[in-house]
Amino acid sequence: MTTLFHTSPTTNREQILAQGLCARRPSEGPYADLAAGQPVGVYVGPAPDRRGVWAHDDPWDVWEVDTNGVPCQPDVLNPGSTVLLDDVAAARVRLVSTYSWLGAATAPGGPNR
């Protein structure tokens, strides 16, 4: 299994638990001015985002994503990160932890590091 991590606002938790991760066009989100030309996808990285690098709301959830068999490509704007080019089913994601810029994690996973 290839495991990568996705960051999402906690307000998306119930939707992710029910539907998984939905591929989105980043140019329509909070990074629109920076994401021109980026593909529709689910953006994931190699490590959990404990510091909120990819968070645009506080608090945020970090999800473990099983990426086996999901078409992907490197994220050209963020070296080391990956774009999954399709939706990811709920059965292939697991909530790792919830973090806040204010301090410790509020779910399994330990304090922010």
CATH number at residue 80: 3.20.170
Chain centroid offset of residue 68 CA: 16
Residue 12, sorted as left (phi over 0), alpha (psi -120 to 50) or beta, turns out to be: alpha
> Does residue 112 fall inside a structural domain?
no
- For residue 107, being part of any structural domain is answered with no
pLDDT, tens digit, for every residue of 43-93? 999 999 988 888 878 899 999 999 999 999 999 888 999 999 999 999 999
Q: How many domains does the chain have?
A: 1
In a domain, 106, yes or no: no
Distance CA 66, CA 77 (A): 22
12 belongs to a structural domain: yes
pLDDT at residue 13 above 70? yes
DSSP state of 39: P
Alpha-helix runs per DSSP H in the chain: 13-19
In a domain, 58, yes or no: yes
pLDDT of residue 94: 97
What is the pLDDT at residue 82?
95
Range of the domain at 35: 3-99
CA 53 vs CA 18, 47, 69, 89: distances in Å: 25, 11, 27, 25
